[in-house]
Chain A
Amino acid sequence: MFTDLVDLLHTDTVQGHFLAVTEQPPADASFVLCHLINRALRAGGAVRVLALDKPPAHYRHLCAKCGADVRQAEAAGALTFVDGAQLTARALRSDSGALTAGGPLPVRAVFDQLTGSADRSASLLVLDDLSALAALGCRPADLLLLVHNLQRWCRRRDAALATLTSRDADDRTLCQLAAAVAGSADLAVTVRGLSSGHCAEVTGELELRRPGEAALLRQFKAEDRNVRVFAAGTSRAVL
Chain B
Amino acid sequence: MFEKILSVKPEGTSILIIDAGDGSYRHLLSSYVQHRQQQQVSVSWVPCGQSADELPGTSGSSAGPIEQSDSSDQDWETAEDIGRQLEAALPLPGPPARLLVVRDASRLLHWLGPTALCRLIRRSCDRGHQVVLGVLEEAVPEEHLSQLRHYSTHVLSVEGAGRELTVSGTYRFKAGKVETATERVSLSADLVVTRVEPARPVPAVPAAARAAPAAPLAPGLTTFSLQLSETEKQSRDRLVLPYLRPEQGGGDSGPGTGQIFYQPDAADDWDEEDPDDDLDI
Contacts and interface: CB of A to CB of B under 8 A. Distances in A.
Interface of A: 108, 111, 115, 140-141, 144-145, 147-149, 151-153, 155-156, 172, 175-176, 179-180, 183-184, 209, 211-215
A176 B24 contact: no
B70 A156 contact: yes
Nearest to B112: A141
A184 B107 contact: yes
5 contacts: A151-B50, A184-B49, A209-B22, A212-B26, A213-B162
A55 to B, nearest CB: 27
User: 4 closest A-B pairs (Cβ-Cβ)?
Assistant: A214-B161, A180-B139, A179-B138, A179-B139
A237 to B, nearest CB: 29
A108 B111 CA distance: 15
Given A151-B49, A176-B140, A183-B104, A212 B75 contact: no
Interface stretch (B76-84, B215-223, B238-246, B258-266): B76-84
B106 interface: yes
Interface of B: 19, 21-24, 26-27, 48-51, 70, 75-79, 104, 106-107, 110-111, 136, 138-141, 161-162
A14 to B, nearest CB: 15
Given A155-B51, A156-B70, A183-B23, A148 B136 contact: no
Given A111-B75, A111-B76, A215-B22, 19 more contacts: A140-B110, A145-B77, A148-B77, A152-B70, A156-B70, A176-B138, A176-B139, A179-B21, A179-B106, A180-B107, A180-B110, A180-B140, A183-B23, A184-B48, A209-B23, A212-B24, A212-B27, A214-B162, A215-B161
Contacts of A209: 22-23
A124 to B, nearest CB: 18
B136 A183 contact: yes
A149 B77 contact: yes
Task: Name the residue in B26, B50, B51, B78 with the highest tally of chain A Cβ atoms < 10 Å from its Cβ.
Answer: B50
The binding surface of chain A is classed by DSSP as helix
A172 B70 CA distance: 32
A213 B19 CA distance: 13
B107 to A, nearest CB: 5
B75 A153 contact: yes
Contacts of A111: 75-76
Contacts of B22: 209, 214-215
Contact of A212 (B23, B48, B111, B140): B23
A153 B77 CA distance: 11
Contacts of B23: 183, 209, 211-213
A214 B136 CA distance: 16
Contacts of A179: 21, 106, 136, 138-139
B43 to A, nearest CB: 19
A211 B19 CA distance: 12
Task: Name the residue in B51, B110, B141 with the highest tally of chain A Cβ atoms < 10 Å from its Cβ.
Answer: B110
Contacts of B48: 148, 184
B69 to A, nearest CB: 8
Given A152-B70, A211-B23, A176 B76 contact: no
A148 B24 contact: no
Contacts of B136: 179-180, 183
B24 A180 contact: no
A144 B132 CA distance: 22
A30 to B, nearest CB: 24
Contacts of B78: 145
B139 to A, nearest CB: 4
B256 to A, nearest CB: 45
Nearest to B135: A183
Given A111-B76, A184-B49, A214-B161, A141 B138 contact: no
A125 to B, nearest CB: 13
Contacts of B51: 155
Nearest to B107: A144
Given A144-B111, A149-B76, A213 B26 contact: no
B9 to A, nearest CB: 28
A214 B21 CA distance: 11
Nearest to B77: A149
A148 B111 CA distance: 11
Given A176-B140, A211-B26, A215-B161, A145 B104 contact: no
Contacts of A212: 23-24, 26-27, 162
Contact of B106 (A149, A153, A155, A180): A180
A183 B75 contact: no
A48 to B, nearest CB: 15
A40 to B, nearest CB: 22
Task: Name the residue in A147, A176, A209, A215 with the highest tally of chain B Cβ atoms < 10 Å from its Cβ.
Answer: A176
A119 to B, nearest CB: 13
